[in-house]
Structure 1
Amino acid sequence: MPVYMVAHSHIDAAWLWRLEETVEVCKDSFLKVLDLIDKHEAVKYVQSSILYYKWMQLKHPKIFEKIKKAIKDGKWEVVLPWVEFDTNIPLGESLVRQFLHAKIYCKDFLGVEPKVVWLPDTFGFAWTLPSIMAGFGLKYFLTQKLRWNDAVLYPFHYFIWEGPDGSRILAHQMVGDYGGFPSEEAIEKEIELIKNRQGLDVIYFIYGYGDHGGGIDEEMAEAVDRLASKGKAIPALPSKFFEKIEEIKDLPVWRNELYLQYHRGCLVTQAEFKRNHRIAEVKLLDAEKLATIAEWLGGKYPLNDLRSLWEELLTLQFHDIIAGSSIEEVYKDAGKTLSAINAKIREIMDSSIRAIVEKTPIDEDEIFVFNTLPWRRNAIIELSDKEIIVAESLPPLGYKIVEKTSGGRIGFKELDDRIMLGNEFFEAVISKETGSVISFKREGFEYINAKEGGVYVQILNDTPVWGRKALESGYDAILFDAWELFHLQQPNGVVKTCLLKPESIKVIAVKPNYARVKAVYKYRQEGREDSYFYITYSVYSGIPWLEMKFEIDWHAAHRVAKLYIPLSYYADKMVFDQPYGLIERRDPGSPNATLYDKAKWEVPGQMWVYAPALENRGLAVFDDGKYGYDFGGKYLRISLIRAARYPPPYEGDGDGDFTDQGRHVFRIGLYGKPAKSSMLDVVRRAYEFNFPPIVKMSIGKGYGQLPSEFSFVEVDGNVILTVLKRGEKEGYVLRLYEVEGKDQEVKINPHLPIKKAYKAKLDEEKVEQLSIENGWIKLKVKPHEIATIAML
């Protein structure tokens, strides 16, 4: 097979420069490219990030029209998604919207339907990405980032990537970089590599300037003309290249995540921004549900506002922004954007809630509580700092009018050396000497190893040091302070401080329905202001997890704080939440661990992680905005916060200030899975931890057309329903996914007069009409499937 070539200018939406600068980078890069593709027949160009096309349409319409002509002439190809996003940190629905919004724009304004997903520089890829891509009919995937592995070379350059649900896509891990000069020597080097590694002789050589754009230049274009005229290379846009690769028979199949053995610190850096982003995702999903229900009751659905909010949030998911590897000014801008997003979401939610409440028989002294999750649940309602109620048995995706009550079943006992907390689900013990959780039991099973100090915070030295390199690019990790973790590389071994000597520990509340204990710790680092950790342990009647609320005043430098959870049992594998799915990983220290397993010494997760024990039990740990974990067979650690240096700006030098300084607030939950439950139980509880109910007080008297309790959508089946929204073209859309790895028969009743329902692709294109009986939509869901229902 011959050599294929394409021009490309990798443009980071923000990194060592701000978003607003990138608009002009795009303009300048695209002008250069458009000029050269007119002059040189052999030059063909590919550009990702649909956001950039929208920028040109709005700010530089003449350039936009020239791009459209180049696309029509077959000289320029558009590839997805919205931006080159991080695939491990955003929730599953965010990944769906990255493609949905990109596809809508391409069809409406560019007249194309791209089939290629182009993520050359993203820091690793969730296993569910092929499932999501296939749900849109996307066939091809390209990256080069696995060249940056620091422990084991990724073995394939052309392969079939199979998702958990069996969906398959054709994937290309590039032999070379995503930019450079198109010389015969560079081409020959890549051909030699692919021959040695996979026994093939086909490469896709990408040339151009990257990161800060730059397009291509005349010298590159002339070199490509010479190569093409000699028959040394064939200019080919990505879709044509992948069509040729499809001709290769018996490609290997990869059934796992594409874990990047590098940039592991990006799961931790900019912790507060990551948490605020999680909150925005949650609220935006809630806002869509409420706005849909409000429209069912006669209100107006703010379709354009919600689309705009999604596009702003999707932009912040660009890999160098959400990963924490950009300059400080980027996060000042991003923080303001998140604040504006959340303010607009509140407006939409308030308007929708009013439209619902006014139809209920609520009295002025009653409380309106809306559960946005599609199963019955209990929930904590904090009316004030000192007044908390537990709203019991909230209806699925519906509301309940409740009164202020303080009844409950809390167990509390304080002894000389310990404080014992519990409710109808679990028993916990906190040491008065250390402030750590030294016991956590459910159904009589002990999950915590008290001999290892119990559950407490460790602070580890994270000073950059030389010695760990990316295997192919050759870059040493020391160059990437904000990207990398160094606590395992310290010259004298791991150096850690254990927060086991509290400044104080005291009981701050004991009520019939809740109890709280607060421990305060000081961390001292020479030459730095002291850091403080305030940890509040809370137990609530009717709530099955022990809540740990962290309030941190952080002033450390080159340190990483982790929550250490020693287990009373051995777990050879642990299960982690990932976008619209889950993944099982083996203990890197296990005698059964492969080299790939051993390289996973810091791994991504989302709302939960689960450590299986005996007899179908296990300990689950919930979070509301943490993403990095490390684990062994007898412990789990959650990365809470770190203090790296910001990278220097593009036109600057020297070290930046330290990241993550100041106040941080987040929650962790400890949960014992009952022996007679499945993974669905863990996932549902984690959603409850992350999706608090919507509460309204003092809202006046309602008209009473609806009852005092009502469910707008009921789900009968073992699935997680995540989305209720207006369809992009018509009707309404539900989205759900399967977590147990089993075939499921599901029934859904949306409690409105539906004429028809269809199983649809993720882009809402109808595939199969579903039966409806007495208002219940019936469908079959395959193991690990992400399913979409279109309702008319």
Structure 2
Amino acid sequence: MHDRRKSGDERIAEFLSERLRPALYPQRLPMDIGAWHIPGEPVPVSVALRADYAPFTVGEPWGSPWSTTWFRVGANVPARWAGRRVEALIDLGGDRGPAGGCQAEALVHDEHGIPLHGLHTHTCAVPVTASARGGEPVRLLLEAAANPTIDAATGSGLHYGDPVTAGDAPLYRFRRADLAVRDDDVWHLLHDMETLDGLMRALPAELPRRHRIRTALEQAVDAVDPDAVARTAAAARRVLAPVLAEGAHTSEQVFAGVGYAPLGFGGLWPLRETARGCARTFSTLVTLAEEYPELVVGASSAQHYAWMRDQQPHVFERLRKAVADGNWIPVGGTWVEPDVELAGGEALVRQFVLGRRFFRDELGADSEGAWLPGARGASAAFPQVAALAGARWLLARRPAAGYPASPTHHTFRWEGIDGTTLYTHLAPDSAALTSAETDFADTGSATTRSLLPLGRATEGPGRDTLERARRLADLAGSPRVAMRHPAQFFREAREEYPRPPVRRGGLDLAAHRGTYSGQARTKRGNRRSEVLLHEAELWSATAAVRHGVPYPYDELDALWRRVLLQQSQSILSGSSIAWVHEDTEHEHRDLHRRLTRLVRRAVGEPDGAVVWNAAPHPRREVVTLDAGTGQPSDTAQVLPDGRLAVLADAPALGAGLTGLPLDRTPRVTAHTTVDGQQVLDNGLLRVRVDASGLVRSAVDLATGRDALAPDGAGNLLQLLRGEQGQDLLGADRIELLARGPLLATVRVRRGTGRSTFVQDLTLTAGSHALTVDTEVDWRERDTVLKLAWPLDVHAELGHADVQFGHVARPTHESADGSSPEFAAHRWIHVAEHRWGVALATDSTYGHDVSRHTRDGGGTTTVVRHTLLHPTNGADPYADRGLHRFRHTLRPGATLGDAITEGYAVNLPLRPGPATGAQPPLVRVDHPDVVVETVKLADDRSGDVVVRLYEARGGRTHAVLCADFAVEGVHETDLLEEHPTARTHRHGRVPLTLRPFQIRTLRLRRAGQRQEDSDGD
């Protein structure tokens, strides 16, 4: 009998845990176990099928960190179990370990090696048969991964993902491998009671509905005989039937449930483990979809599916069937869920292009929405990019309660910088439907609908979640939960809420904690990869059109996919474990080698006579040639390290000559004053560097304005430790390396006793900007490194470069005197009426801008680049070692100058062979219209594709001119589809662009024939 002296809530909880759950599997049979331990890299199942397995018993330890153990388990179903549901209960012991919690998972195969199901932290039951024959053998093969759990926020865990120092002590102890009968009456009673119990606890105490539910639950407890739970469970279900049958009120909140598992990429596992985890999760979910036909799974990232196609073809075929049956929805249309604040503009385009094409070609599916439930934030350029790729809506995650930037509304129209809007919904974190109170809180929305991702961590929804969802479909007192295709949810939301509020600018959804600057080598490698891909496509297209060189379609496509994979949220933000970032840096180095080879194949090996300009603006500037490239002459300057400085002139997107005479270009001079200061002057800019290596003056000679604030020190390195700050004011050594006439450089060395800093401050003939190259050997802990410039500018706003445009941010300080960090790509511009300063960067993303009033009047605007910001999370040793950064300071700069400077810093002139000047394939007659990409069409038709955009923020009329015979011109979407004919005459295409508008044009070459790839 049940103890009636306890409260009703206590009796219900005790009954669930001590009576009902133990009765769920009334009959069990231990399975035989064999084990094969693999300490190194995983092996395919074909190898495991032929391996020798040693006897293994329950209770034995297994799983050294990052290793794999293959288990072979087996038993015969007893004859008396005929007609019963049989499951294999396997507990790998993965919720305990020396790291304070470990995650042991496995992919379960049948005896032939075909994947069946995943084993996860909360999913230990593997379906064997819904109705046993009795006597049949059960033979399973388990690929178990011994992956330690690491806390991304604190870095606590086992060796931070380092495979070398992790050791070989086992992490887990195998707990169970049983063949068991599941009692269906107990199963359903358990979920009836848990659903009602959760609802009861969430309802206000004064509601009669709460008391009716408690009474019914207590009566159900009384209806069950503790000595015959299975036999009396059906009677208890009949007691609960009336309260379960009470339907929800029509005004109740409606949650559109969609199965979701935030698999991610990298993160706290290396990519090899992410791919294996994907196979486990997908196997589990497609099995669930077969058992629960109402289930709708929304899974993004084409890369996950590509892994399944290439590594797990059986899983992939099951996925294709689930897609065809409508249970599985490839959502989002991107290659991975990218970091949409830090990925470059063309990279965001390719995320959609490659992702949507994969979904259509391999799965016969398409996506009309964007899917970013893991995003910390999103760039204001994203709505236009997504819309041009076919997206009509966006799903992102809801900020945590109390987050300062949390939107007032969860459903709104998000307007980007060009005026494009996306119907946007912020969904709560994925839920397991464990209680109405925690899963169903929804405020600040004028609509009664919300999309609810269902699932846990990397597992997705389990059977428990789906059973509760069935009961919550129409249950009085609870919001209604109904499985919905995400597109259907957005259609219904639009019908109910056709005119939601508009939110403009970027989305800020979570604290970043150094993600704009942490793991600087990963970020620099990404930026360099984007630049080289731009060059490889541009010069390969030029070589194909000019000289008939085969265009490397296949190789470029493969390289883009590799770069896009490394732009996932966890990797590009810098929040992954050390192992992931080490792999990423290796991947970037290999990408750079391959892309450089493609570029050189297109332009030739350099000899210094010609330079190729991949930037969208013409340039006349000094370029340095490596030693042995080019010949000394009276127009060249020999540098101390053997390199040559020469003056070059090149058109936008074309090639020009080097070794030009200075003629009217004033020489740069350098001299040391009596008080030890270095003065660099080129007739356009005069820079004064003091004896500590700080820039005390940078005068724009055209106006006489000094960019530096009075008594201000530019090029100031700052160390920040918590609330404490330290300015590096002293220098160990300063030397004048080069004195002109083409190039003058001051080298500054300084250190902290642990870290060292070497900076080259360079001014060249004809340049309006000072270049600062910073090399850091970083050995600090819990410290942020910034580069500060106090500018004599009264700036209300700072303009920051984002993909395909820029955004304005207030320069005022916050109430506590701090200035929030924000993301900018290539440049920042601060200005007052008629005069401003541009600062450009080749790899830094994190910046802050603040404004201060000086004593006695005047305003100082301080711009700081965050060079290093270790997150001290999953990789506490992040950013140790050598780093290189390049920044430029351009006084007297307009917004257009800032754009030009940003492209120039990121796309240095490339030396080529003595082939003479080369005009560009295309050019635009207006400086505000920027050509971002030139390539050949992906359909291999030979069409030249040009992507351009308005960069200043104003309506512009321009003409695109092609330097080849043009037969036809069409405007397309980003996928180079849905063409609209455009007027043209002799290769001239008139264009009108609204502010920040992106246009993609296909130019059909006259007389061209279908091209084949070169087979790369």
Task: State the TM-score bracket (shorter-chain normalisation).
Answer: 0.7 to 0.9
Report the alpha carbon displacement of residue 452 of structure 1 after superposing the two structures with TM: 3.2
Q: Judge conservation of contact 1:538–1:548 (CA < 8 Å) in 2.
A: yes
Counterparts in 2 of 1:601-680, with a 5 A limit? Answer: 601-615=820-834, 617-633=835-851, 634-647=861-874, 657-674=876-893, 678-680=894-896
**AA of the residue aligned to 1:713:** V
SS in 2 for 1:198: coil
Distance 1:708 1:665 in 2: 32
SS in 2 for 1:31: helix
In the alignment, is residue 495 of structure 1 matched against residue 747 of structure 2?
no
Q: Pick from 432, 442, 449: which aligns with 1:202?
A: 449
SS in 2 for 1:735: strand
Partner of 1:537: 761
TM-score, structure 1 normalization: 0.87
Cα distance change on mapping 1:505 and 1:365 into 2, 3 Å:
closer
Q: Pick from 704, 717, 725: which aligns with 2:935?
A: 725
Q: Pick from 12, 28, 39: which aligns with 2:280?
A: 28
More displaced 10-residue stretch of structure 1: 323-332 or 747-756: 747-756
In the alignment, is residue 776 of structure 1 matched against residue 1000 of structure 2?
no
In the alignment, is residue 243 of structure 1 matched against residue 491 of structure 2?
yes
In the alignment, is residue 157 of structure 1 matched against residue 384 of structure 2?
no
In the alignment, is residue 400 of structure 1 matched against residue 642 of structure 2?
no
Partner of 1:272: 521
Report the alpha carbon displacement of residue 628 of structure 1 after superposing the two structures with TM: 0.6
Partner of 1:382: 624
Partner of 1:527: none
SS in 2 for 1:112: coil
Distance 1:683 1:516 in 2: 25
Partner of 1:289: 538
Partner of 1:689: 905
Distance 1:365 1:209 in 2: 58
Report the alpha carbon displacement of residue 406 of structure 1 after superposing the two structures with TM: 7.8
The superposition leaves residues 81-129 of structure 1 with CA deviations (integer Å, 9 ceiling, x where unpaired) of: 2111101112111111111110111111111220121111112110011
Partner of 2:707: 447
The superposition leaves residues 239-260 of structure 1 with CA deviations (integer Å, 9 ceiling, x where unpaired) of: 1111111111320001111124
The superposition leaves residues 750-773 of structure 1 with CA deviations (integer Å, 9 ceiling, x where unpaired) of: 211110111221121244322222
Q: Judge conservation of contact 2:840–2:898 (CA < 8 Å) in 1.
A: no
**AA of the residue aligned to 2:486:** P
**AA of the residue aligned to 1:238:** P
**AA of the residue aligned to 1:50:** A
Distance 1:406 1:777 in 2: 36
The superposition leaves residues 185-231 of structure 1 with CA deviations (integer Å, 9 ceiling, x where unpaired) of: 445x42xx32xx23432222221122xx1232221121122223659
Distance 2:1000 2:607 in 1: 40
Partner of 1:411: 669
In the alignment, is residue 169 of structure 1 matched against residue 419 of structure 2?
no
Report the alpha carbon displacement of residue 366 of structure 1 after superposing the two structures with TM: 6.0
The superposition leaves residues 646-703 of structure 1 with CA deviations (integer Å, 9 ceiling, x where unpaired) of: 51xxxxxxxx5421011111111001244xxx52222012101110122135x7xx6x
Q: Judge conservation of contact 2:694–2:714 (CA < 8 Å) in 1.
A: yes
Larger of the two Rg values belongs to structure: 2
Q: Judge conservation of contact 1:623–1:668 (CA < 8 Å) in 2.
A: yes
Cα distance change on mapping 1:56 and 1:600 into 2, 3 Å:
farther
Distance 1:182 1:34 in 2: 22
Partner of 1:258: 507
Cα distance change on mapping 1:235 and 1:644 into 2, 3 Å:
closer
Q: Pick from 940, 948, 952: which aligns with 1:736?
A: 948
Report the alpha carbon displacement of residue 775 of structure 1 after superposing the two structures with TM: 2.1
Q: Judge conservation of contact 1:549–1:666 (CA < 8 Å) in 2.
A: yes
Cα distance change on mapping 1:264 and 1:380 into 2, 3 Å:
farther
Q: Pick from 972, 977, 1000: which aligns with 1:788?
A: 1000
Distance 2:930 2:402 in 1: 34
Counterparts in 2 of 1:82-97, with a 5 A limit? Answer: 82-97=335-350
**AA of the residue aligned to 1:373:** A
The superposition leaves residues 391-421 of structure 1 with CA deviations (integer Å, 9 ceiling, x where unpaired) of: 3331221112334768861132320232111
**AA of the residue aligned to 2:464:** E
Partner of 1:456: 716
Partner of 2:50: none
Report the alpha carbon displacement of residue 146 of structure 1 after superposing the two structures with TM: 2.7
More displaced 10-residue stretch of structure 1: 147-156 or 328-337: 147-156
Q: Judge conservation of contact 2:394–2:423 (CA < 8 Å) in 1.
A: yes
Q: Pick from 702, 706, 711: which aligns with 2:920?
A: 711
Distance 1:460 1:216 in 2: 43
Distance 2:988 2:513 in 1: 46
Distance 1:124 1:117 in 2: 14
Distance 1:531 1:764 in 2: 49
SS in 1 for 2:277: helix
Partner of 1:128: 381
Partner of 1:223: 468
Counterparts in 2 of 1:184-195, with a 5 A limit? Answer: 184-187=436-439, 189-190=440-441, 193-194=442-443
SS in 1 for 2:931: strand
Q: Judge conservation of contact 1:742–1:782 (CA < 8 Å) in 2.
A: yes
Q: Judge conservation of contact 2:648–2:657 (CA < 8 Å) in 1.
A: no
The superposition leaves residues 738-787 of structure 1 with CA deviations (integer Å, 9 ceiling, x where unpaired) of: 12222211212221111011122112124432222222122211111011
The superposition leaves residues 295-322 of structure 1 with CA deviations (integer Å, 9 ceiling, x where unpaired) of: 1121000001001100000000001101
Q: Judge conservation of contact 2:648–2:660 (CA < 8 Å) in 1.
A: no
SS in 1 for 2:982: strand
**AA of the residue aligned to 2:671:** K
User: Could you say what the CA RMSD is over the residues aligned between the two structures, in angstroms?
Assistant: 2.1
The superposition leaves residues 122-145 of structure 1 with CA deviations (integer Å, 9 ceiling, x where unpaired) of: 121100110111111201111115
Q: Judge conservation of contact 2:934–2:944 (CA < 8 Å) in 1.
A: yes
The superposition leaves residues 477-534 of structure 1 with CA deviations (integer Å, 9 ceiling, x where unpaired) of: xxxxxxxxxx3xxxxxx3111111101111111121110101111113xxxxx11111
Q: Pick from 291, 301, 323: which aligns with 1:71?
A: 323
Q: Judge conservation of contact 1:13–1:19 (CA < 8 Å) in 2.
A: yes
The superposition leaves residues 568-612 of structure 1 with CA deviations (integer Å, 9 ceiling, x where unpaired) of: 132121000011110000124279xxx9xx996111111000111
SS in 2 for 1:321: helix
Structure 2 unmatched runs, 5+: 1-252, 627-640, 852-860, 1005-1016
Q: Judge conservation of contact 2:650–2:656 (CA < 8 Å) in 1.
A: yes
Distance 1:403 1:569 in 2: 38
Structure 1 unmatched runs, 5+: 358-363, 462-486, 488-493, 525-529, 648-655
More displaced 10-residue stretch of structure 1: 318-327 or 139-148: 139-148
In the alignment, is residue 42 of structure 1 matched against residue 298 of structure 2?
no
Q: Judge conservation of contact 2:607–2:912 (CA < 8 Å) in 1.
A: no
Partner of 2:586: 336
Cα distance change on mapping 1:709 and 1:111 into 2, 3 Å:
closer
**AA of the residue aligned to 1:719:** V
The superposition leaves residues 444-472 of structure 1 with CA deviations (integer Å, 9 ceiling, x where unpaired) of: 111111413333111110xxxxxxxxxxx
Report how many aligned residue pairs link the two structures.
Answer: 715
Distance 1:578 1:761 in 2: 21
Q: Pick from 538, 554, 573: which aligns with 1:304?
A: 554
The superposition leaves residues 16-46 of structure 1 with CA deviations (integer Å, 9 ceiling, x where unpaired) of: 1100111111111111111111111332111
Partner of 1:469: none
Distance 2:960 2:463 in 1: 60
The superposition leaves residues 714-753 of structure 1 with CA deviations (integer Å, 9 ceiling, x where unpaired) of: 2112211110001111312101111222221121222111
The superposition leaves residues 255-279 of structure 1 with CA deviations (integer Å, 9 ceiling, x where unpaired) of: 1111245114101111122112111
Q: Judge conservation of contact 1:396–1:714 (CA < 8 Å) in 2.
A: yes
Q: Judge conservation of contact 2:359–2:366 (CA < 8 Å) in 1.
A: yes
Distance 1:708 1:604 in 2: 38
Distance 1:788 1:551 in 2: 39
SS in 1 for 2:514: helix
Partner of 2:612: 370
Partner of 1:317: 567
SS in 2 for 1:451: coil
Cα distance change on mapping 1:741 and 1:406 into 2, 3 Å:
closer
Q: Pick from 225, 250, 255: which aligns with 1:3?
A: 255
